[in-house]
């Protein structure tokens, strides 16, 4: 097999004409009031559409490195998106306070919508920005070649892997919450399918799996619900994550952005799903048929909010949209309907209507042929939701008149939810699809001609594990947007390609969602941002000083799920393990006013640092973001057992009203045992159930 050519941006004639249009000193404000000066440089490459920004620390603070962030969804002004970040989420302040300059680019995207002729421009333009940043660093510091580290999550994780596999521009990478080459659109559709079929039983599933629960997540589910829960769990979706839906939040994620691409690539699927045996929609007794909504209505009145409509991107203001995280970058591609609504003479009625993904098609009048997305039905009004690719929503609504006919239809949205069943990869290393294969490895359901995921990473390449530097992966175990096993698959690919995992580490993070925001915390989940920042520092120590990072997390893959080793010595990784008991058990039954004794034990993996905080909360807040969580600062004693650092803590509390409560504890650990460092606190939580009678 011919060896892959590794891209060298320094030799690419497309990137030989850089320019700088801004170079000035600015400051970052830290939470403690400290101000960090940095030199801001903005520019691009002529005749390419590629723009970049560099943030250089003062010369005495510089340590010969840079961190380069890749957003999931490039945009025309993405190189500016991190400037408005604050607190723990301030990527620039983290970099410059750790002796690194910060690099970001728009990855060659000159528009928010539409595909690029050559997707490889993502890693090529990113490499070009990295190499030119070294030129500027040499001018500013008089230094030798700076070490460079690229990182990104979700869609940015694909990009980070493409960069470290296909170029020589970086010395290491930290891809996080990554998918596999066949994740899109499949993982997103799996989630939506579960949201639909399990919508009556979220609370039962969560309660069974929560602290002190029965452990039987199938109890109380009907046949369709139990079968779907088993199927989705085997695909890799953590059943614990249904707490979000149990709390009342139904979010389609980036599915509205993905549907148009699937319809363009495979339009026949959306007809076959409802007609061809073997597809869920062709079974008259299926949940898909029961939930299908098709309704013709007549417009009575229209409310056009005018200038209140918020465009997906404002080209006139490069500071207008700083959404570049793994959970929100894709939202730039949507237009929010805000206060827009259409009143109908009659609306659909019935018990437990499924109103997600309902398209509003205009059948007659000046708006005929246009469509919008339904947000909700209020009385007899269709409230307009988030619409993909709609840059003139008021213009469409202004054409709608009383008497116009509309057609409400969720057929496509239901159909795409099952797409993963008909996308079984030929490559059996994608083991989550084994449930759809016979004993000979052949698919048991009708299949589409192409597995779309390979073409949906947005990088023009498919992960091959041929890493050109050192790599640390951070993966969340309660990820609602990608499956945790994808990181295990990538680890295997690296071993297969490189012959070992000598230059690779994988850290799984308990109780963490997909998003890379510090505010994604409540009493059910914490966030991985501290571990991500620590991984970047560990990567730089590994490359620059030969200091081996912590060993890969110990785990097993079982029936679609990643199961962590129970013993902390075997678990390893970067995250502390925490156990919480109420009166010595996971579930305590007490009388009103009776004192409950809470005890905590924290174990920190060898080399992962010291416990810095133990914090309690006796109220269960499921909202995100939660406010005032963990208000009780616990007293703890650090302990050491067999080279394992940890801590113990205890407290008491008396509940004054009858009911079922979930008390929780959040612990933090830091490599230097420093609670004041805002960027590298690695967290975990634990919960107990208290029944007050």
* Residue 257 sits in the same domain as residue 310: no
* Residue 403 sits in the same domain as residue 426: no
* Residue 649 sits in the same domain as residue 680: yes
- CB-CB contact of 529 with 540 (8 Å): no
398-421 per-residue burial string, b: 16 or more CB within 10 A, e: under 16: eebeeebebebbbbbbbbbbbbbb
Q: Give me the mean pLDDT over the 475-491 stretch.
A: 97
CA dihedral 669, 670, 672, 675 (to 10 degrees): -90
Residue 253 pLDDT: 75
Size of the chain, expressed as the number of residues it contains? 693
Does the pLDDT of residue 337 top 70, yes or no? no
Bridge-based pairing of strands 172-176 and 147-153 is: parallel
In a domain, 207, yes or no: yes
Look up the domain containing 228 and give its range: 186-283+417-453
- CB-CB contact of 422 with 447 (8 Å): yes
Of 410, 387, 256, 403, residue with least CA distance to 395: 387
Residue 497 pLDDT: 97
Does the pLDDT of residue 681 top 80, yes or no? yes
Residue 283 pLDDT: 98
In this prediction the pTM is 0.93
3-state DSSP assignment of residue 457: coil
* pLDDT tens figures, 341-391: 999 999 999 988 999 999 999 999 999 999 898 989 999 999 988 765 555
Does the pLDDT of residue 691 top 70, yes or no? yes
* Residue 668 sits in the same domain as residue 589: yes
* Residue 314 sits in the same domain as residue 389: yes
Does the pLDDT of residue 626 top 90, yes or no? no
Of 476, 665, 662, 636, residue with least CA distance to 577: 665
Longest dimension (CA), the chain: 78
Mean pLDDT in the chain? 92
Residue where a domain stops, chosen among 354, 377, 408 = 408
In a domain, 516, yes or no: no
Q: What six digits make up the tokens of 174?
A: 């930290």
Treating both helix axes as pointing N-terminal to C-terminal, what angle do 121-141 and 155-166 enclose, rounded to 10 degrees? 70
In a domain, 275, yes or no: yes
Residue where a domain stops, chosen among 408, 442, 473 = 408
Q: Give me the mean pLDDT over the 215-236 stretch.
A: 98
Contacts of 334 by beta carbon, 8 Å cutoff, 6+ apart: 256, 257, 312, 386, 387, 388, 390
Does the pLDDT of residue 571 top 60, yes or no? yes
Q: Give me the mean pLDDT over the 646-672 stretch.
A: 97
* Residue 633 sits in the same domain as residue 679: yes
Q: Give me the mean pLDDT over the 303-317 stretch.
A: 43
**Which contiguous run of DSSP H or E holds residue 42?**
strand 35-45
Residue 394 pLDDT: 80
For residue 623, name the pLDDT band (cuts at 50, 70, 90): confident
The domain that holds 622 is classified in CATH as 2.60.40.650
For residue 310, name the pLDDT band (cuts at 50, 70, 90): very low
Q: Give me the mean pLDDT over the 100-115 stretch.
A: 81
* Residue 682 sits in the same domain as residue 610: yes
For residue 316, name the pLDDT band (cuts at 50, 70, 90): very low
Residue 326 pLDDT: 61
Residue 318 pLDDT: 33
User: Strand runs (DSSP E) across 526-617, as ranges?
Assistant: 555-558, 561-564, 577-582, 587-590, 595-604, 610-617
CB atoms within 10 A of CB 676: 10
Does the pLDDT of residue 153 top 60, yes or no? yes
Residue 306 pLDDT: 54
* Residue 238 sits in the same domain as residue 307: no
Q: Total structural domains in the chain? A: 3
How much of the chain exceeds pLDDT 90, in percent?
Answer: 81
Residue 116 pLDDT: 66
In a domain, 49, yes or no: no
In a domain, 155, yes or no: no
Does the pLDDT of residue 674 top 70, yes or no? yes
* Residue 279 sits in the same domain as residue 422: yes
* Residue 584 sits in the same domain as residue 652: yes
Does the pLDDT of residue 311 top 60, yes or no? no
How much of the chain exceeds pLDDT 70, in percent?
Answer: 93
For residue 9, name the pLDDT band (cuts at 50, 70, 90): very high
- CB-CB contact of 228 with 198 (8 Å): yes
The domain that holds 377 is classified in CATH as 2.40.30
List beta partners, residue 19: 44
Measured CA to CA, the distance from residue 371 to residue 320 in angstroms comes to: 27
In a domain, 569, yes or no: no
3-state DSSP assignment of residue 555: strand
Residue 109 pLDDT: 86
In a domain, 354, yes or no: yes
Residue 334 pLDDT: 45
* Residue 314 sits in the same domain as residue 260: no
* Residue 302 sits in the same domain as residue 395: yes
In a domain, 509, yes or no: no
Residue where a domain stops, chosen among 453, 481, 508 = 453
Per DSSP, the residues of 613-662 read EEEEE-S---SSS-SS-S-EE--EEEEEETTEEEEEEEEEEE--S-EEEE
Contacts of 538 by beta carbon, 8 Å cutoff, 6+ apart: 472, 547, 549, 550
More confident residue, 308 or 248: 248
Q: Give me the mean pLDDT over the 475-488 stretch.
A: 97
CB atoms within 10 A of CB 423: 23
Of 640, 647, 629, 528, residue with least CA distance to 579: 647
């Amino acid at each position: 097999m011919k060896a892959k050519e590794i891209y060298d941006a320094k030799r690419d004639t497309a990137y030989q004409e850089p320019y700088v249009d801004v170079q000035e000193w600015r400051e970052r404000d830290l939470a403690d009031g400290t101000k960090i000066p940095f030199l801001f440089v903005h520019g691009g490459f002529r005749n390419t559409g590629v723009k970049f920004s560099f943030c250089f620390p003062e010369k005495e603070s510089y340590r010969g490195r840079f961190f380069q962030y890749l957003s999931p969804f490039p945009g025309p002004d993405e190189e500016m998106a991190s400037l408005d970040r604050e607190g723990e989420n301030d990527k620039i302040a983290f970099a410059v306070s750790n002796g690194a300059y910060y690099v970001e680019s728009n990855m060659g995207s000159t528009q928010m919508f539409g595909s690029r002729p050559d997707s490889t421009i993502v890693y090529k333009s990113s490499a070009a920005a990295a190499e030119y940043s070294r030129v500027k660093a040499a001018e500013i510091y008089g230094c030798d070649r700076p070490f460079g580290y690229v990182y990104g999550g979700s869609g940015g994780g694909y990009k980070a892997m493409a960069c470290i596999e296909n170029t020589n521009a970086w010395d290491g990478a930290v891809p996080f919450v990554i998918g596999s080459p066949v994740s899109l659109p499949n993982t997103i559709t799996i989630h939506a399918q579960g949201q639909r079929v399990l919508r009556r039983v979220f609370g039962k599933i969560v309660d069974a799996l929560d602290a002190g629960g029965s452990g039987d997540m199938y109890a109380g589910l009907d046949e369709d619900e139990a079968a779907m829960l088993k199927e989705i769990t085997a695909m890799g979706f953590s059943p614990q994550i249904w707490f979000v839906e149990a709390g009342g939040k139904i979010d389609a994620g980036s599915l509205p952005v993905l549907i148009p691409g699937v319809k363009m690539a495979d339009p026949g699927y959306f007809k076959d799903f409802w007609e061809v045996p073997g597809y869920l929609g062709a079974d008259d007794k299926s949940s898909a048929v029961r939930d299908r909504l098709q309704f013709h209505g007549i417009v009575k009145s229209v409310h056009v909010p005018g200038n209140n409509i918020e465009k997906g991107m404002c080209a006139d203001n490069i500071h207008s949209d700083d959404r570049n995280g793994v959970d929100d970058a894709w939202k730039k591609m949507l237009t929010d309907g805000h206060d827009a609504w259409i009143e109908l003479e009659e609306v659909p009625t019935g018990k437990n209507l499924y109103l997600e993904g309902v398209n509003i098609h205009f059948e007659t009048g000046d708006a005929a042929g246009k469509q919008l997305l339904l947000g909700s039905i209020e009385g007899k009004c269709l409230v307009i939701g988030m619409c993909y690719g709609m840059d003139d929503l008021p213009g469409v609504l202004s054409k709608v008149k009383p008497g116009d006919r509309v057609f409400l239809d969720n057929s496509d949205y239901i159909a795409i939810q099952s797409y993963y069943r008909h996308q079984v990869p030929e490559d059996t290393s994608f083991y989550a699809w084994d449930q759809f294969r016979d004993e000979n490895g052949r698919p048991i359901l009708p299949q589409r001609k192409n597995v779309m995921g390979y073409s949906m990473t947005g990088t023009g390449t498919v992960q091959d594990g041929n890493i050109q530097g050192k790599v640390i992966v951070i993966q969340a175990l309660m990820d609602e947007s990608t499956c945790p096993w994808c990181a295990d698959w990538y680890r295997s690919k690296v071993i297969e390609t490189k012959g070992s995992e000598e230059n690779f580490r994988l850290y799984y993070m308990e109780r963490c969602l997909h998003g890379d925001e510090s505010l994604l915390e409540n009493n059910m989940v914490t966030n991985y941002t501290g571990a991500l920042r620590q991984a970047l520092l560990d990567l730089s120590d590994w490359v620059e000083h030969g200091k081996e990072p912590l060993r890969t997390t110990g785990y097993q893959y079982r029936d679609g799920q990643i199961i962590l080793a129970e013993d902390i010595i075997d678990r390893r990784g970067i995250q502390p393990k925490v156990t919480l008991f109420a009166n010595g058990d996971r579930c305590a039954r007490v009388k009103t006013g009776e004192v409950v004794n809470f005890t905590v034990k924290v174990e920190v993996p060898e080399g992962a640092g010291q416990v810095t905080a133990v914090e309690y909360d006796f109220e269960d807040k499921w909202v995100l973001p939660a406010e005032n969580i963990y208000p009780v600062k616990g007293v703890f004693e650090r302990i050491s057992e067999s080279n394992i650092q940890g801590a113990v803590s205890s407290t008491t509390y008396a509940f004054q009203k009858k009911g079922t409560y979930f008390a929780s504890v959040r612990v933090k650990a830091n490599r230097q045992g420093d609670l004041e460092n805002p960027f590298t606190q690695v967290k975990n939580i634990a919960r107990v159930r208290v029944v007050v009678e």
